Structure 1
């Protein structure tokens, strides 16, 4: 007869611009990455630690360390901008890195720079944007891949942005057959008179709105520049009211903002058989 064993895992909870994550030092590679139910339990905001995702720090042969990112539903994705900024701060707190270093991800190797509580990332090159996509002959959308696929709908003003039912709209677009089988992250955005982008994002894998999204900020900023609504560097105001800075460096994506430790603890909520 199998007996349940309570597994204890040390974790740190962090947030980047309000986008919060459970971060684990997994250089020993003992975390059960195949246990989707266990990841779901940790990320559950009602009964678990609660977060927008789980991040593992693992050893790397080509960078200071490797980042693996899992959505709250347990699926692994190639990139998370705010997650990468948080794990950069986490690695510094562990004493693994100094102010400048590289991070291996499934989307490529990133360059990181720490400056106080701010973390700046230089990511891969900008991909081609796709503008003026009509869905259901009703929704006018732009698309770009910033490590993961993002779809953005531009709204006329901030009032319209604030009252938007993003959970309903996001689910509709995220699951639309046009984006199958992977689906898409969905953002709504507006640009104010100062050229600042105001952004709300429905994240695939979270299946709801988050307080911030780094790759979403990259997507909205790039699309705004392509449309001539503003120019780099672009300030992006997130749902949390914190700002992310997006810039272009020789054709590469640059994302910077705060990354903050929230708490440390031990998770013992998962059963292993």
Structure 2
């Protein structure tokens, strides 16, 4: 028996995609274990997560994401661009479509320009709230953790945003887990360290919950960082975010959108 898969990446945040649009390929109770096995970069295919593309009765398609620690994430900005590329190329969706996620139905506008696929995603509205953090009185939810001022915001999944002077000097392997596992975040959080450049560009590095390591990019993290920066007057309505894997553009208007690329890396088969 063999199972087809597609490897995709968005700004270096990479995923294994399993097409379940017409029928289930991996039983529900095995999805977490499948992700743990095949996300391994030495003994598996290697990825930051496994995307399952499914049909939806609420939208044009449904995205589910299982992470290397077997947990399921409600939302993933880079992952949804990768899934949109696959679904668009397969003819499942059109340039303008909707995708169901655990954080709600998300609108996607996607297509090719000069052979490069880009997608603009309507992101969940940033929520500046966290049950374990008292409000400061001006709409900010922040706390001092391990010497860092940490802002809490949810953009489909929980995020911690930390502004630093020089992003290259941060020991993310130590600081990331300390904040990610702090009691402030009962469900854990992705931790984003952010440097604000002179032109307002944000440089960001993310320690990602579920991967339990730094990833090359995090779309919901870029959105969270831009939202906090804008709230604090550090950024405007359009924010360029430089991730380790490349740029993303976050725009604030009637809705919050994220724009970025997605690429197919390779296709293959898993033999059982």
**What TM-score does the superposition give when structure 2 sets the normalisation length?**
0.90
Aligned to 2:211: 206
Q: 1:173 aligns with which of 179, 198, 213?
A: 179
Is the deviation greater in 120-129 or in 55-64? 120-129
Secondary structure at the residue paired with 1:119?
Answer: strand
| Conserved 8 A contact 1:21-1:54 | yes
Number of equivalenced pairs: 256
| Conserved 8 A contact 2:237-2:253 | no
User: How many Å apart are 1:18 and its aligned residue?
Assistant: 1.0
CA distance in 2, matches of 1:127, 1:75: 22
User: How many Å apart are 1:126 and its aligned residue?
Assistant: 2.8
Q: 1:87 aligns with which of 83, 86, 108?
A: 83
| Conserved 8 A contact 1:123-1:254 | yes
Q: Which runs of 5+ in 1 are unaligned?
A: 1-6
- 1:120 and 2:120 matched: yes
Aligned to 1:31: 26
| Conserved 8 A contact 1:188-1:199 | yes
| Conserved 8 A contact 2:181-2:189 | yes
Is the deviation greater in 23-32 or in 98-107? 23-32
CA distance in 1, matches of 2:169, 2:124: 34
CA distance in 2, matches of 1:39, 1:228: 40
Aligned to 2:249: 245
| Conserved 8 A contact 2:53-2:83 | yes
User: How many Å apart are 1:32 and its aligned residue?
Assistant: 2.4
- 1:13 and 2:16 matched: no
Secondary structure at the residue paired with 1:202?
Answer: strand
User: How many Å apart are 1:165 and its aligned residue?
Assistant: 1.3
CA RMSD of aligned residues (A): 1.3
Q: Which runs of 5+ in 2 are unaligned?
A: 130-139
CA distance in 2, matches of 1:70, 1:105: 12
CA distance in 1, matches of 2:2, 2:184: 42
CA distance in 2, matches of 1:128, 1:188: 17
- 1:264 and 2:267 matched: yes
